[in-house]
Amino acid sequence: MTDASTSVEPTTARSDTSDSPATESMPLLRMVGVMRRFGDVVALDDVDIDIVGNEFFSLLGPSGCGKTTLLRIIAGLDDPDGGTVTLDGDDLVAIPAHRRPVNLMFQSYALFPHLNVERNVAYGLQRERRPKAEIRTRVGEALETVGLDGLGKRRTNQLSGGQRQRVALARAIVKRPRILLLDEPLGALDKQIRIQMQQELKRLQHDVGITFVVVTHDQEEAMSMADRIAVLRDGRVEQIASPETLFERPATRFVAEFIGRTNMLEPADGRLFSLRPEQLRLLSAATAASPGARTVAATVRDIQFYGGVSHCTVQTDLSDPTASAVGAPPSIVVALIGSTVVRPGDDVVVSWQPQHEVEIQR
């Protein structure tokens, strides 16, 4: 990542070269050319992903992008039509779901309604025919890890949404899988609990030392938790990178627009650039821009205040020669810290440094 701040060389899609720890050591899980079709629909198209040990990895994409299908293939609940999936170099596809050292936390949690909390968590260990004493100890530990000690005898329908999620988590980690798969783990929770659980999942992953693979459609969730993220779209991998790289150096237009907000510049030469709202400055029409900066005249149209940050949408003055030279869009979003003194209708100048324009592959 040494060159990340200066170079504007295009990064290729599916590149995992720039900041992937996977290239340094043998990956724990390796997927090569994974294909999956449902009738005429291609759910996964030639997917290559490496996941290393102890990584918090996220599969991110809009609904229908194939992320859950990929998760189910790793879990063994679905089989790929082509490609290979290996765990520590051994073929994983040949192993049936119930013998894989991989556990899945279902989006619905899938808690067994006829069993209490304790027996839900003990289920996997009982199938391994562990001694009773060991099961009791490990179930106790798992419930403590997720902060549910003392609730072992409860019925699952007496628990809150957050507690049910913790039971599902305890049930999955108690078997000490090599990889824990989580399908939209925070999807069913309220926003407040969700933010708290993001931190807890991150801490938990660190404490138990299990590789986490989290499926989510929420880019903020993925960005805040994951070490690396694979962005999927229509069954294909768009880019695999750290959250920072995805944000600063998106490889495709889709990634640039899916991760955070962005402005796309389309100059006459046919190239395409992404320009983050956070890299833009708003100046009053009279102020001189800093040396080397590009400037475009604009009129403030709308301000959205989010508390810590405001998004100011301005209407570009397309008669400004710079605007057409850089290919500025008719409206530009500028991120401002805190609230702002500008008001709709104000004439302003948008300015940015040319090195913040990130070229995107067409």
Partner 1 sequence: MSRASKWGRVHLGFTYAFLYVPILVLVGLSFNESGLATSWGGFSTKWYGELGRNDDIQEGLRNTLIVAVGVTVLATIIGTLLAVGVSRHVHNPVIESAFVAPAVMPDIVLAVGLLMLFTAADFTLGLTSVLLSHTLFCTAFVTAVVRTRLQHVDESLEEAARDLGDSAVGAFVRVTLPSLAPGILAGALLAFTLSIDEFVIAFFTNGPTSPTLPQVIYSNVRFGVKPDINALAAVLLLVSMIIVLSAQRLARLTDSIGQQ
| Residue 114 within binding range of partner 1, rule CB under 8 A | yes
Segment lying near partner 1 (by CB under 8 A), choices 75-83, 198-206, 298-306, 327-335? 75-83
The single residue among 58, 156, 219, 245 that binds partner 1, judged by CB under 8 A, is 156
Instruction: State the binding string over 320-349 for partner 1 (x if CB under 8 A, else -).
Output: ------------------------------
Instruction: State the binding string over 171-190 for partner 1 (x if CB under 8 A, else -).
Output: x---x---------------
Binding residues for partner 1, how many (CB under 8 A)? 26
DSSP for residue 97? G
DSSP for residue 116? B
Segment lying near partner 1 (by CB under 8 A), choices 111-119, 247-255, 304-312, 340-348? 111-119
Shortest Cβ distance from residue 183 to partner 1 (Å)?
9
| Residue 113 within binding range of partner 1, rule CB under 8 A | yes
Confirm if 315 and 301 have CB atoms less than 8 A apart. Answer: yes
Coil/strand/helix, residue 309: strand
Dist. CA 159–CA 194, nearest whole Å: 17
Confirm if 78 and 69 have CB atoms less than 8 A apart. Answer: yes
Determine the residue type at 129: R
Which residues are CB-contacts of 197 (< 8 A; sequence separation ≥ 6)? 162, 165, 185, 186, 189
| Residue 132 within binding range of partner 1, rule CB under 8 A | no
The single residue among 63, 90, 94, 98 that binds partner 1, judged by CB under 8 A, is 98
Please state, as a whole number, how many other Cβ atoms lie within 10 Å of the Cβ of residue 101: 13
Shortest Cβ distance from residue 130 to partner 1 (Å)?
11
Shortest Cβ distance from residue 34 to partner 1 (Å)?
19
Dig out the tokens for 232 from the structure.
């999927």
Dist. CA 282–CA 168, nearest whole Å: 48
Which residues are CB-contacts of 89 (< 8 A; sequence separation ≥ 6)? 26, 30
The residues binding partner 1 (CB under 8 A) are 75-77, 97-99, 103-104, 106-114, 123-124, 127-128, 156-157, 164, 171, 175
